[in-house]
Structure 1
């Protein structure tokens, strides 16, 4: 692949990614926002988080050691931190660090 081809691919991918990110903001401005778009704006973030939780926990085996304990402990820490500090980045970051420490050093 030549340098020109690589740069062309890079530019096309960047434009496609940017357009899919920004196009909804242009199409659904506040003026043209209907009740359906407002409803989706309120519901979709929670649905996405629910789907991510289910996806992350789908292969946890509760019948074999460590019986889902690292995942359960991490979820409790994430929930407690989020209720206490109401900071999503802190909750997810701390939960990830705790989970990684548990699976790599404690539940080997």
Structure 2
């Protein structure tokens, strides 16, 4: 791609991303938010986290020691979240702890 094509591609992607992010706010700022949309806003974050957990653990072999770092990291995340009640800390701390386990302890 030429420089012009690259710039146009990036601008198109930026415009598409901004449109999909801002359009719901523009639509629902003028009218009352439907109850179904409010309901989805309360249940979807938990569903997405559950889906991510299932997706991340789908290929783990639980009958071998290769899944030990995942198990230890999950236990760490549950304990950390129970203690601090911070989603961001749980996600970041769990990721850092898992990477430490995989790259240092379980080589």
TM over 0.5: yes
Distance 2:45 2:93 in 1: 21
Q: Which has the higher helix share?
A: 2
The RMSD of aligned alpha carbons is 1.5
Shift of the alpha carbon at 1:83? Answer: 1.6
Q: Which residue is equivalent to 1:84?
A: 83
Q: Which residue is equivalent to 1:25?
A: 25
Q: Which residue is equivalent to 2:5?
A: 5
TM-score with structure 1 length normalisation? Answer: 0.89
* Unpaired stretches in structure 2, ≥5 consecutive residues: none
Aligned residues: 107
Shift of the alpha carbon at 1:38? Answer: 1.1
What stretches of structure 1 move > 4 A for 4+ residues in a row? none
TM-score with structure 2 length normalisation? Answer: 0.89
Q: Which residue is equivalent to 2:45?
A: 45
SS in 2 for 1:28: helix
* Unpaired stretches in structure 1, ≥5 consecutive residues: none
